[in-house]
Structure 1
């Protein structure tokens, strides 16, 4: 099985951490991937994690990471174990359960992940959280004083949030009766609306690539 996209980024980070004897929990995984994406964008490359970062969960986070974790756990690739950390708090630690999962990942981003984990992987979750709060995207988000905003990894103001409007459009499209002379039109419209999320990602990548 070959991992791609967000799954590949998570597996790559866990693989590097294991090779260096570094313990990774959910918070550290999110913050280290965010820092890797930030460095990639700073090098005028596209972010490699494939997730959308928002200000939540004590700093930058993406709910996609929980979905990826669940998928990898079901596939028997990642194990999640709840434990008590040094400070007496509960945490969920993540680790690979297989020897060498195959990943398809950009070489430059893979190198960035290795560097970020080597330099910051031994930081505590709290230290990583505090560090991410000092990054330009988070500083801009904090100026608004409103959580859940989409972070602009280039350091600009938080990005417009189109998802609420997209959800409304999907609901309208699915609730429309099918027309006799255009059977399937509602389904096609719903699919087109769903495709906007991918178009947004492509537009962002083009912007970062200078296209």
Structure 2
């Protein structure tokens, strides 16, 4: 199993507002964790090859991993606009040991905690603005690959 599964499990277990963990929000939180890891440690937590789609970072890897993970559930819910959204949650009464979160390093857990703390009080609009304000999204063209490690070095050089 790839770190993507453990990162998803960690975020789903520890994020305080479970009904907000939609497919899109969770994907963007994993992106933020990979970006922060690239900035701080020149490596991503996951092996995702991020792409800049219509308005921001998006890949199907996160949702596909959540769908395949026997420890997670993907449920249909409704957004505040009345549209269907996919919400990812922990299946049953799982704990850190059963979720095998010890596969994440302390450094990775710290980054995931930072992302939770930086975003948990942001409404959807504020959250999206936060994501879109990252260097890769502000500087790269749509529909291209986002090489987060190279972009973190570029951002540091351009400061």
CA displacement, residues 26-85 of structure 1 (integer Å, 9 cap, x when unaligned): 11101111111111111124110221110126410122113202211xx2x111111112
Deviations 1:156-187 (A, max 9, x none): 39xxxxxxxxxxxxxxxxxxxxxxxxxxxxxx
Give the corresponding residue for 1:148. Answer: 143
* TM-score normalized by the length of structure 1: 0.62
Where does residue 47 of structure 2 map in the other structure?
A: 50
**Deviates further, 62-71 or 107-116:** 62-71
How do 1:28-107 residues align onto structure 2 when only pairs under 5 Å count? 28-56=25-53, 58-72=55-69, 75=70, 77-98=71-92, 99-100=94-95, 101-103=99-101, 104-107=103-106
In 2: Cα distance, 1:123 partner to 1:111 partner? 19
- Output the TM-score relative to the length of structure 2: 0.80
| Counterpart-to-counterpart distance in 1, 2:123 and 2:54 | 16
Unaligned runs of 5+ in 1: 158-211
- Report the CA distance between 1:155 and its aligned residue: 6.3
Q: Secondary structure at the match of 2:77?
A: strand
Decide whether aligned partners of structure 1 residues 42 and 93 sit closer, same or farther in structure 2, where only a CA change above 3 A counts.
same
Q: Is the 8 A contact 2:66 2:72 kept in 1?
A: yes
Cα distance in 2 for residues equivalent to 1:88 and 1:140: 33
Higher-Rg structure is: 1
Work out the CA distance in 1 between the residues paired with 2:63 and 2:28: 14
Gap runs ≥5 in structure 2: 153-159
Within 2, Cα distance between the matches of 1:51 and 1:133? 18
**Would you say 1:123 and 2:125 are equivalent positions?**
no
Higher relative contact order (CA 8 A, sep 6+): 2
- Equivalent pair of 1:41/1:153 in contact (CA under 8 Å): yes
Could you tell me how far apart the structure 1 residues matched to 2:126 and 2:83 are? 15
The worse-fitting range, judged by mean Cα deviation, of 91-100 and 147-156 is: 147-156
Is the 8 Å Cα contact of residues 44 and 149 (structure 2) preserved in structure 1?
no
